[in-house]
């Protein structure tokens, strides 16, 4: 079952969490000051911004929200030669550079921001869809392009850790 949950912020500081508690045919909004709290109350928490929960957890079992900065490995890693700078896509199975013969680097982890993306067409060219993606300073990755969900690691969020946000995406 999909959990409807938000991280609540007041002036870019996390102040609490909100979730919809389903009870048979009805439900209500509940609030807590800690994400993993066992005690949720009906009293609203004052806030002026919300971040949507992705329904995913990182490898430390921490909830992942839009606006989080995560570290992960791509399913399509690029290796490069430190000596001459040549890049090799994931389908290249060799361990040595074709140009200079030096050993290729291991693929670097990617650090990016979780965003909620609305696209006007799907991969067949029609329809509308919404999805969570991760963007870094070079590209936007769908969650399908990430090798393993256990590879995600939340290292901060764009609001409380603006130094982690790539300069290209700062707004």
User: Average model confidence (pLDDT) for the chain?
Assistant: 80
Q: Each residue of 56-73: pLDDT tens digit?
A: 888 898 999 999 999 887
pLDDT at 142: 74
Report yes or no on 85 lying in a domain: no
**pLDDT tens digits, residue range 127-146?**
556 678 888 877 777 776 66
* Within-domain flag for 91: no
Report how many domains make up the chain.
Answer: 1
CATH code of residue 121: 2.30.30.290
Q: How far apart are CA 14 and CA 21, in angstroms?
A: 21
Name which of 33-47, 58-72, 144-158 the model is least confident about.
Answer: 144-158
Residue 46 has pLDDT above 80, yes or no: yes
pLDDT value of residue 91: 53
**What is the per-residue pLDDT for 130?**
64
Residue 47 belongs to domain spanning: 5-73+109-169
In this prediction, residue 94 carries a pLDDT of 66
* 135 inside domain: yes
At 16 the pLDDT is 96
pLDDT in tens, 71-110: 887 666 667 778 887 776 655 566 777 888 887 777 777 8
Note whether residue 60 is domain-resident: yes
In a domain, 103, yes or no: no
pLDDT at 146: 64
Higher pLDDT, 148 or 71: 71
Q: What is the mean pLDDT of residues 152-168?
A: 82
For residue 56, tell me if it sits in a domain.
Answer: yes
Residue 32 pLDDT: 95
pTM of the model: 0.75
């Amino acid at each position: 079952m999909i959990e409807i949950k938000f991280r609540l912020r007041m002036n870019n500081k996390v102040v609490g969490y909100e979730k919809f508690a389903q009870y048979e045919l009805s439900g209500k909004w509940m609030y807590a000051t800690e994400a993993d709290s066992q005690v949720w109350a009906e009293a609203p928490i004052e806030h002026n911004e919300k971040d949507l929960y992705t329904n995913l957890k990182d490898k430390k079992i921490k909830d992942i929200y839009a606006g989080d900065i995560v570290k992960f490995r791509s399913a399509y890693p690029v290796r490069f030669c430190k000596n001459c700078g040549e890049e090799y896509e994931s389908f290249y199975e060799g361990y040595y550079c074709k140009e200079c013969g030096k050993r290729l680097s291991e693929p670097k982890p990617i650090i990016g921001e979780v965003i909620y993306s609305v696209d006007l067409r799907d991969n067949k060219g029609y329809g509308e869809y919404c999805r969570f993606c991760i963007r870094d300073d070079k590209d936007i990755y769908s969650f399908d392009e990430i090798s393993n969900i256990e590879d995600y690691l939340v290292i901060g969020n764009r609001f409380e850790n603006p130094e982690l946000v790539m300069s290209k995406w700062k707004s």
